[in-house]
Every structure is written in C-alpha cells, then in structure tokens.
Structure 1
C-alpha cells in the first residue's frame, strides 16, 4: 500500500515539475570588469523577473533599458533616454578602471558612473529590477554600493523605489514622463514630492503645478492607498524624505506606477491598467487650472477630437528645439485664438504643427496639399451636451433590468415546474445528504447543518445565485470546462464565489455532480478547494466554491508573459502544496481518494498563491484496505489530439 501511494504521488508530481521549472543555465545577471554587454545580449535577474538590454523603440534609435521578462515592449527604466545609440552599435561596458558606460559609434560614450580611482567593480541586475554597480574586495565579495538605477528613475515607479528627496546626497527621486509613446526622451511632465508639503505628491507640467494629491492623510493618497493593492510607506528623517511601496498580495502581475506622456498617473496591477490621475480626460481631484487666453476660455465646452486623415494645407510648424509633446502642442494651439487643429509633426509623436481658420480636413484623398500625408489630427469641435440622454438611459437601466431578470426567472421557474423535476430534485438532495428540501424558496440560502451531518455545506436558492452572478452575464463568466460554464459571483453578505453550472450538453453529468458534492464535503485540507454549497432547482444544478482570485496554474505557466511572475520559491511552494494535498487524499483523509484528472487547470491558486486541488468529478473512492480497483469508464483528460492519434494508429 505504501509503495502504491508513493508511486502515485511521484507520477503526479512528475507531471508538474517540468512545467514549473525552466532551465536558466545560459542566463546571467552580472557583468564583471572588462566585460561587455552587446546589442544582442541581455542580463536576466536571478529570479527571471527582469531583463536588461538594448531596445529599439522607434526606427533605428536604440536604448539601454530594463523591462519585465514577458513584457518586452514596456521599458521600466532607460539609461540613455536623451542620447540614443544608432542601430545595433550600442555596447554596455565596465572599463579597465571600473567605470560603467555605454559605447556607441559616432558619439562620445554615455557615462553612467565614473570611478575616482581604478577599482574592481561589477554590475548586477537584481530581482527588484534595480541595476547596481558594486565595488568589490580582493576576494570578490561586495565592498560598497557605488551606483544604482533606482536613484535615477525615468517614468516608472517599481515596488521598492523611492519618490522623494535625499538631502544628504542631493538626489531628487522623481519621475519624468516620456516625450511620446515612441520617444523615451524627457517629456513635459514630472512627478515628485511637493516642496511646500512633503506629505503630498505633485505633478508639474513644464515647471508649472499641474496636479496635487493632497496630504498623506487627507487627500488623493488616502483614497488611492485605501483602494490599492499596494502598501505605501512614508519616511522622513534628517537625511531623506520619501514614499515607497510594496505589493500586498503574494503575486501581482507586473506591478508598477507610471507617469505617461499625457501627464496621467497610471497603475498596473493584477494584469489590469487603471488611470489614477488624469487632468486631460476626466479632471481628477487635485487638477490645477492652467492659464489660457480669454478667447480660449470663451470656447466653453469645445474639445479636441482625434481624427485620421488629411489637412488641406500645411500648418505652422514649431522649431524642433522646442522638444514638444502632444500635450505641449495642444497648449500651443490653445494659446493661439485662431487655432482650430493641431498634430504631432514627427512619426514618433513629437513636434508640433497647428492650423488656423480657413483650412479643411478630409478622411480620404490628399486634398489641395499633394505633399500632405495621412496622420492623426486633433480638431477643435463643440462638445455635445447630452446629459439628458445619459440620465434617461441610466433611469431606464435601473427601472428595466430588475423586472426583466424577474420575468426571466418566473418564465424559467414555470416552464420547469412538474412532477418529474420535483422528484429528481428531491432524490438529488437525499443522495447528497441533505434534508433541505423544505425551504428551497428562500431567497438567500438554505442551511443543511442540522441534518445530522458533520460537514458544513449550504444549499443556495437559484434566485440568490442569479442575483450573485448578474443573471449569469458574460461579464461574470470565468471560463468553461467539461462540467459546464463557471461564473464569478458576489453574495449579499459580500463573499465572492465561483459557480460551476452543469450544462445540458456537458461531457460530465449527474454522476460527477453528486460525486464532487459528496466527496469535497467530506474532505478538509488547506490544499483542497473548499466547496461552500450547491444549488438544485428542477433541471438546474450548480456547485458553489470559494473564489480563487489568481485563477488556475495553467493560466500562469502556459502563458508566454505571465509565466515569469512565479519565482523559484513560489513554484516550489506550489509543488509542495500539491504534494501535501495528494498525500492527504491517498493516506490521511477519512476516505482514500484517487483524483484521476490531476492537471494544471485543476490546480487553483488563492490570493496568497496557495495551491488548491479542484474538480473531483472523476475521483474514485477506495476502501481503506484496498490498493487497486477496476473501472468500466475511461476518465481523465485527452492529451492526444484525434488526428494525431489516427496518424500514429
């Protein structure tokens, strides 16, 4: 028996180990003195989370930058933002004196750090995303830190980075936007601590205050921090004053705060993007009114609308030395009372060209100006004030949706009302082990905890599940498996749930439904998914689980980008958790259980990345003294495509 359990465990784990671990022998995180990192080479942090190398952002301009492994197009830090290298000529080097510099043809080197006297140094890309230069002792151990990229941020604040001032060294930890999405050069917006009140953040546009957060306790920061997935810290002493932050959850996908070229402060978390501050689109709290001519103020609700097409003639082009962003160009247009349109002059979204009255725009053809090319043009247009339409639509939704859901529910209930359905429903309750049939009209849930069973399982009414899942809306749908669709829901008490709804054309059926409900109710382990209850209403059968915010293991390890968010420690913890769950099933539970369909998609991950074995529809219960059994059905997941199986006989 012990050998059988061990063999099953080893076989199960062998399926996951190759998926979770990837060879990294060829990856390096450090360059030593005298070594070079060429244009086609990269440094990779020890955990595999970050990469450093040269990137071509637009045309032949190349930049040394850091990015998340799996998000190659989103640079987090740029070393030479205002002095790009050309083509593939860029080389990162630690010279024989120990200085760190970027070499490229036809120009002087970009010196990142110059040592005062010859030293033994090395540069490392750390797991935090920080690129550091250390002076080494004779034995190769670290003597001191000489330079770090975290002291010179560009437009992105990573967990662990500081936003503030070091009064001892004179460093100002602030973000400066890109000039455009295709140009990392220093833009027109910056984010830092307000000199007049270091407990609040401020955004400046060309040196003019553009937005203020309010103090740490009584403003934007308080609202933002309370709703954020980040933990923020404020530190102030005689040497430095700064904010920094960490990630609350064990895993948040590619976390960062970014000041974009439009002056918006954007947060990235859990594979989502949210604009926290915007003074050009929705006028966030704290936005300052900029000085504009009286004629521009009289325009009232007029706004610039983006169009793609051709202008009838050439506009006024500002000098390239102005280094203008799109927002700068918009401001130039507003300063000119005759301006009716503007556009970026260059392909990378920089520069500025404006048009005065008397021009025309067309979406096709070239107009009168044969030299004009198709481009994005922002044209001043009246904003249609349609508040009454939104008001009517909002009232209509509030008044119509609840009755429609209620009518749909009544139609469904009446169409399924009958003796056979009621009989099947009662039989299922009895087989699962409930005495809850008497109260199935309850609007929330029906407790079955007084029926003599020691398992704590709830019976939910169909109406409560309809409300929790927003009428099984597409927006609430998490996915679909052999059992049927799975929906995310929220109960009236605030609990988040996952609802597995048995589909009429499901590859699984009543046997698997009863098997899973009965089995999971009798099993309790931290590495097994928790079944909260079930719902049976005539032909509707649903299982109600605790909601797993980090989805399933296959969602991470099989995704070319998201697989890098799991570091080695987390992967090992996941493997150990799966093993603990299997040992419990095979050896220590009240029932000896063989899962028979263990795969990455059936391993769910909670908010702390603790693995939970799920989907026990195919599981088989053994007697305590049994080590083998026969089956009349082939179960599990098909791993051979039909056409491949036919070709290979």
Structure 2
C-alpha cells in the first residue's frame, strides 16, 4: 500500500510538472505553424528568452507594427520591424501563414512578408539570434528570414553588403523618428564605388554627410535647419525661421523634423513685380551670427556700394561687409544655409543684412492695424474689400505715386476656420494658439487687365460653370492662369472665400497653387500658377492627345492625385473633402505632374469630425458618392468614390457620364460586368495596346472598384488605396458591386457657359438637390 501511494504521488507530481511545462510552453512559444495565427497581445519568444516578436505601437503612435525586441530589457528596444512601409490602423492585426508565406492581416489589407511558390507545410521560428526564419516541412533550408530585410539595428549573424549573384542588397536604414519606424533619411551601406568601404548616406543623394566628428554639434551639420533659418544649440527649438520667414510646411514644424526650411511670408517686390532695381525692398540687420555658406566676394568697394550691389540684384538675398582679415563685400544669392546664431560675447560673431519686402520692416501700429485682417464667418467679405480700399488710399497718399500695374498689396489673412453643420455657417477659430497666418497678394484690376491683354480671346484657356480662365503674364515674366468668375456664376462670395482661404493655407506639390486674387469693381478673380498642359481631360478624352499618355504617365498621374488627397484628408491642419474631384479639376504641369484644383466646393472638418450632413448637395454628376447624392452625408469616403470613378476613366479613356454600351449602363456598370466575367482588361484604353503591364492594370482596376463600392465603410481610405496601388506584395480583397452600376447613363447637357471649341480647365457643374 505505501508503495502504491508513493507511485501515485510521483505520478501526480509528474503530471503537475507536465501541466506547468505546457502552460509555460503555451505562454512563450517560439514557433508558429500553418493554421495558427498571432493576434493582439500574443507574442513569440525565442527558446532562450532573448528576443520577443509581436505587435507594438511606438511611443504615442496610433499605428501598429510587427516587430522584434529584446525580451529581458525593461525599456523595449526594437531591433526589427516587419511592416515599416505599411503602418496598420486596425485594432486587431494578425500574423499568420498563408500557404507557404508569412502574411500580416490588417483589416482589408493583407501584407506579404515572404513571396514563395513552394508547396507543403511551413513554420516560422524566432531564434535566439533575433532572426525570424521560415522553413519548409521536409527541409532545413530557409525559405525566408528577417535578417535578409534588416531595419536600423545590426545583429550578430546579419549581413551588410550585396550579392553579385542575385543582386540582393543588405542595408541598415534609420527610423524616420522615435514614433515612426518607416525608413528615415540615413542609411548604412557598402559604397558602390569602393566595395571595401561602408558609408552613411543621407537620403539618395549619394554624397558625403557629416555624421561624426569631435568636437561638433547639430548646428555644424550641413543644412540641418534648412534654408532661411538660424540654428542655436542653446535654445529650444534649435531651429528658428528668420524674421519675415515662416516654415515651408503648411502645418507647424514637427519637433523631430529640423530640415523643412523656411520661405518668405511676403515675396520680394523686386521678384514679384519685375522691377529693375530693389528700391521697394529693405534689409534686416542680424548681429552675432556666422556667415551662411556659398557667398560671392566683391573686393575693394565701400559698404554703401556693397549694399547697392545687392539692392540692385533681384537674385541677391543678403549682403555683409567683412571688416576682418582682408575685408570686402560678400553677397549671397538664393537660399541662406547654415546660418548660426551665436552669443553676444562670441568673438566669431558677424553681422549680415538679409533682404526683405519693405512691409516686413514697417513697425507702425497704424499700418499693422490696417493690414491685420481677421477673416471669420461673422465678418462679411465686403469688410475685407473696404479695409483694402482704405489701405490703398493711405498707401497712395504716403507714396504719392504707384504704377497701376504694380500695386499688388499684401495683407495678413487669418484663414483658420471650422465647418459648422452646413456650408452657410462657419465658425472662426482664428484665436487658436497654433493658428498660423496665410499671406495672399491682392492684385489690382488694372494689373490683371494688363497681364491678360484686356481678357483677350487669344489668351483664353477655357470656360466652365464658374466663368472663363485666361492665360496671363506678369511684369516679371511669370505666366499665370486668371480665373474670372462670372457675375452670374453659381460660385458666390461663399465659394470664393472657401477657395481663397483653403488654397492660401494648403501647400503640397499635387495641389494647384493660388498666387492671389482681385476684388475690385465688383470683380471676383483668382490668379493661379499656370499649368502649360492644362487639365487631364484635355488629354484623356481627346482622340489625338490620349496617345501621349502611356501607362507609365497615367500611373504617375494616379499616384500624384492620391498623394494630394491623402494630404487633404490626413496631413493638412483641417480635414478637407474636395467634393468635386474629376478630370477637368486635375491640372498638369510641364512635366505632366498632376495638381488638384478648384476648391470652391470643398468641405472642412475641425477637431475629430469625420463626416457631416448637409442640405446643400454640390458637385458633378457621375462623381458623387451615393450617400452624399441621396442623403447629404459627406466624408473623406466621398472623395474616395470620386477617385475610383476618375481612376476607371484614366484606365479606360472614357467618361463615366458619357459612356455608352448597348448591353451596359454607365462606365461603372461596364467595368463591373467585365470584372465578373473575368475580362477586366477589356476595359483598358486601346491607346495603351502596346503596354506590358497587365498585372499592374488589373491591380488598378481592382482598387478602382473597391473605391466605388456602394457602402462608404467598404471603401478604403486614400492612404490604403495608394498602398494597394503601389505595393505588389499586398493581396487585394474582391470588390462588391459598385454604386449606380444598374442605372443607365443619360445624356448630360454641358454647363451653359461651356464652349466646345475650348479646352476645359476648371469647369465645375453644381447640382442643387434637397437631401432626403
């Protein structure tokens, strides 16, 4: 009996030990096999407990990443990130094995870490070296490993260099910043010119950058603060814009980014008006600084002659007279770089004179009071015109004379607004601490008339629902597009204010730039940068010109449009929905880069708003989403729908509203029919018949159909759409039937001011309907 009890006790202890071992094993498993997934807070731990793999969010970031970090270090130290270029927004990401590949599942997006074509069961194991390896069932051969795709940390066993046989390159790339692990500016790689040397590069410039020396500080790094900035290691922030300049980005400079640089708040009179001299520009004296880089010396001239030399040269941005050493006049042209602010007792301190517009140096309270105009919904636009008129009268009395074609006035507009429940009600938020002023030139009617040769028909570029657009030429030789709103135009003061306020604030390479406006003589005129290739529709729907748009150019245009919308939806200070995205509102510059234009119907959201109801339905037939057209619900997904329609037009070369097929409805219906019949490539424009991009075209058609799905929640965001378009490793979901695909297209009459003999530039059709 005692022997039996002893045996039972031993068995019980062994069982408990097994159970405990199983629990520990389950809690700290190092391998994931086919059919298993890693979700939420689940992690893999290497067998020796050295490394851990799982999902994490760096700092206060709202994005989620798959990473590997040291298990035993209290402060999480991430050594590898799997989806650096694809941050996940889903609250329930998962890592799984799909066939023979590792994939990350994030909502509608499936991201492939590996791309294997083998068959059979595979498993992935986290090793004590920090390497995450994928192996086949019957072989120890590694199908994929994280060491082949290093992030910013070099671990023992990794490689740096390249393979002459396969062309594989192993490079370390810095994080963008502490909360963003996407590839940053710096990379460590083997020098392609000297294979036995490693170099640290900034960006892709293939040039040397100072990254270590003794003794040095950040202000000695080339272009650390960008152009027209001072660098001072004794202050916070280190980088500050010069007086008369502001950050180049429309938003406030992020603390981690010190290279954005600064731009002038007010253009130099010499540059803007084309004067032969700089009499209208003045100089700001800056003491206790180091001289910026790249100056041109002029010896044996006086201080006054030095000043005159810079004043009379439109390209000169600063001058100094160096009395030390050999002495002489120093002139700077273009951007001022590496300007450091020193302490007052620093013996190396110099004095420099920076050229500014005369207004920047006028400190009279009366002038500031006149020029500082806070634009809010409670102040009618007529007050703006009246204030400008008063200032014009005052300025003419002060100066006694002014050339009528040169009286471009500059005033400070507080353009920070938040949308109310309807476009007719806006609430000013100009008193916000972080609100920035936007500067917008006001052109005189006489200068606009001279620039357009009295609105000559020979200068006419096109005409749309809001009025004609003319080509103009300023006195400095710069070409502009002049949009003269018709007095009968549906775009009234509200839309004009919308457009001027928005575009004056927005700064992105894929958004059309507003240069100024004219409000004299009952006129409502907007002056834009000139786009020599006019609008996308002038190429896309023209039988002769469509052949000039090969698939590479069309794909480039699609990506640019997407980037512009992402900026409006995510990165501008207010969330903005364009509401009238179409081919005629996409302008093309000299290099066929797209720029979204016409913000007269844009809807702005403040705070955490993401959608709104409106009683005023505006936009263009064929591009409006169903929830907006039928219910008055507007959100960023409204623009996504318009983008999907436009993408199908770019692929097919056909208008959605003018598409006719005997057995089909509109372009959306036709695309959906071909997709269901597995004949989607029949949609492609015949002008692209010599392309070799079937896979890319199919991906674009798939994304377009995802964007035009009937339910807004089913559509991707613009950032997701761009990722789907450009990342071939993503597995795309299947689209559902598009909205409006069962409604036969009716012939749509052109706007009443449409001229068929002219190219469309900014034509906008407005539909007014009662929301249901």
Alignment TM-score, normalising by the size of structure 1: 0.32
Alignment TM-score, normalising by the size of structure 2: 0.28
Higher strand share: 1
